[in-house]
Structure 1
Amino acid sequence: MTGPGDGPDQVAADRFGPPEDDIARLWTPHRMVYIGGQDKPADSTPQQCPFCRIPTGEDADGLVVARGADCFALLNLYPYNGGHLMVLPYRHVSDYTDLTGAETTELAAMTQEAMRVLRTVYAPAGFNLGMNQGEVAGAGIAAHLHQHVVPRWLGDANFLPVVGRTKALPELLADTRARLAAAWPAR
């Protein structure tokens, strides 16, 4: 059966997709960019590294929330939760043991500040903190060390990420960056 506008290359909208059932679907096609690796560096050099490029641009464009002398904090472009920050050194270094004393100290201090700011702005119930050292350990960009600061709320891990491979985020990244940057204490 065809309807108006159906042609040899067209299928009626009601004939596309899954059969009618009681399952709600949340489509997130923007995630295909990440899954397909579009933003992954071509190699491990500083010239290809987005974390080396971001500090040279505008904070809003790079989702930078705060800057220190040796490290900076920015929003994760593909967050696990709203407010997911990363703290990383400016220097292109991949291994935690290769950080200088000053970088290690500032990375820790900025991670603490990130937690304070997130508590003030979003009141999470807890946090996941962590570094994935190497691609085999799950580092999306293994060549540039970064500490994840992921705010957590009771009930935030529901069926969507587990079954649907989808994460619902309540706020646009630009809005989250603006709120966190405004709440970050001046240095």
Structure 2
Amino acid sequence: MSTDTDIEQQDGVGIPDALQRLWTPHRLAYVQGENKPDGDQPQGCPFCRLVEMADEEALILARGRSVYAVLNLYPYNPGHLMVVPYRHVADYTELTVEETTELARFTQRAMSVVRSVSGAHGFNIGMNQGVIAGAGIAAHLHQHVVPRWGGDANFMPVVGHTKVLPQLLGQTRSLLAQAWQAD
């Protein structure tokens, strides 16, 4: 007669090893597509819905005339934020001159703010244009600003496929929003 332990060991599941497990169940929502829009319409777009919420609830750091800065709900690194136009537009070539200018200025400001709060050593900045290019929400353009530090690609993301975030998103939002307003 087989026990559950015998079956698990036969299947290779549950075999003791020296590895520690760090669970990040919040990432499952992203992987499964929770909160992703249906189609290309603004009414289903999370970026269009965010601007109707209070800044703290939406994790919005700052609002401009044509763009806003918001923390990424599923960050690659602490302080990972996005600069998003209010207008529901998919492609960078569709931005007006005013939107393009303010997006660039907000990106510069985001870098300064994150650097002052966290001492980031560098940044990855970019847009994924279209689903095929990796855009999770392709219908609404957004530019990622991802702070980087020497050694931030350590064993956790490489081996454990996990990022360790030292504070809650609300705390990060509060620090960055205060620093954004300081100058």
- Give the TM-score, by structure 1 length: 0.88
User: Residue 66 in 1 paired to residue 53 in 2?
Assistant: no
Partner residue of 1:143 out of 139, 143, 152? 139
Partner residue of 2:47 out of 41, 44, 51? 51
Q: Match for residue 130 of structure 1?
A: 126
Deviates most, 155-164 or 80-89: 155-164
Between the aligned partners of 2:26 and 2:97, the Cα distance in structure 1 is 39
Between the aligned partners of 2:46 and 2:111, the Cα distance in structure 1 is 24
Partner residue of 1:95 out of 91, 114, 117? 91
Q: Tell me the SS of whatever aligns to 1:61.
A: helix
The Cα shift of 1:161 comes to 2.1
Superposed CA deviations along residues 113-163 of structure 1, whole A, max 9, x for unmatched, are 000000110001100000000010000000000010000011111222233
Q: Quick check: which one's helix share is greater?
A: 2
Between the aligned partners of 1:159 and 1:43, the Cα distance in structure 2 is 37
- Give the TM-score, by structure 2 length: 0.90
Q: Match for residue 110 of structure 1?
A: 106
Superposed CA deviations along residues 45-103 of structure 1, whole A, max 9, x for unmatched, are 00000101101110011100000000000000000000001001000000000000000
Between the aligned partners of 1:81 and 1:124, the Cα distance in structure 2 is 11
Superposed CA deviations along residues 23-49 of structure 1, whole A, max 9, x for unmatched, are 121111111111111121111100000
Q: Match for residue 8 of structure 1?
A: none
Matches within 5 A, 1:33-44: 33-44=29-40
Between the aligned partners of 2:70 and 2:30, the Cα distance in structure 1 is 17
TM-align CA RMSD: 1.8
One-letter amino acid of the structure 2 residue matched with residue 86 of structure 1: M
Deviates most, 154-163 or 33-42: 154-163
Percent identity, aligned pairs only, is: 61
In structure 2, stretches of 5+ residues that fail to align are none
Between the aligned partners of 1:164 and 1:32, the Cα distance in structure 2 is 15
The Cα shift of 1:22 comes to 1.6
Q: Tell me the SS of whatever aligns to 2:167.
A: coil
In structure 1, stretches of 5+ residues that fail to align are 1-10
* Count of aligned positions: 175
Runs of 4+ displaced beyond 6 Å: none
Between the aligned partners of 1:168 and 1:29, the Cα distance in structure 2 is 13
Q: Match for residue 167 of structure 2?
A: 171
The Cα shift of 1:186 comes to 6.5
